[in-house]
Structure 1
């Protein structure tokens, strides 16, 4: 199995788990949603479905690029909730996570955005795939 296939499958697994969590345990996600987001409960449910759709889309060549782009945009759009969580020290289930969690989480968000683009075959920077390999996965 090529590293690209493994990385794509891992991202799909992470988003599948996140989507399930958004749908089955939404309270923590609702709690960190910024005040300016309308209908936080509905938005968290929508994001759960978006994560599941993106994860599934990564697994099929005809939808892979759209899923990768969608997941990258999604990761960018939820970043404000991560900042809100960190800056306002919002407890989840009574637990304050602190900057040992929040710092790396915020710093890694650009990597998560890139990972969606790379897994979707939108970019191969900085890890280049051979052109033949790229054409095979796009079919």
Structure 2
């Protein structure tokens, strides 16, 4: 039961986060490093994959692939977290919160690994 709660919580987290990529794309575009092309497309593509991987976790046949996809996606998101640390445009966010996001990515990766 405990693993099932964790699985459903993770699936819900990624589905909701992915939906927000479509509802509030400007919020996500702001964290895309300027050296990456077409921020809107990147936001929508990543939102699609967050939803797909979240839903995929719920099915035995796609769970492992979705968990690996989530782990890869979280690694791909690291440059955005580093950019937020380096850019002055995020000065209103406490530095500790920006720093905390980086190890949090690895906690989330470990969580996904539990289902890989």
| TM-score band, normalised by shorter chain | over 0.9
Cα distance in 1 between the residues matched to 2:17 and 2:83: 18
Counterpart position of 1:104: 100
Which digits, 9 at most, give the CA deviation of each residue in 1:45-93, with x for residues without a partner? Answer: 00000000000000000000000000110011011101111221434xx
Q: What root-mean-square deviation, in Å, do the aligned CA atoms of Structure 1 and Structure 2 show?
A: 1.3
Residue aligning to 1:5: 4
Corresponding residue for residue 135 of structure 1: none
Hey, what does 1:48 align to over in structure 2? 47
| Other-structure match for 1:23 | 22
Q: Secondary structure at the match of 2:89?
A: coil
Whether 1:58 and 2:57 are equivalent positions in the alignment is yes
Separation of aligned partners in 2, 1:90 and 1:109:
21
Q: Give the structure with the larger helix fraction.
A: 2
Distance 1:65 1:16 in 2: 17
How many equivalent residue pairs?
116
Runs (4 or more) in structure 1 with deviation over 3 Å come to: none
Distance apart, 1:28 and its partner CA: 1.6
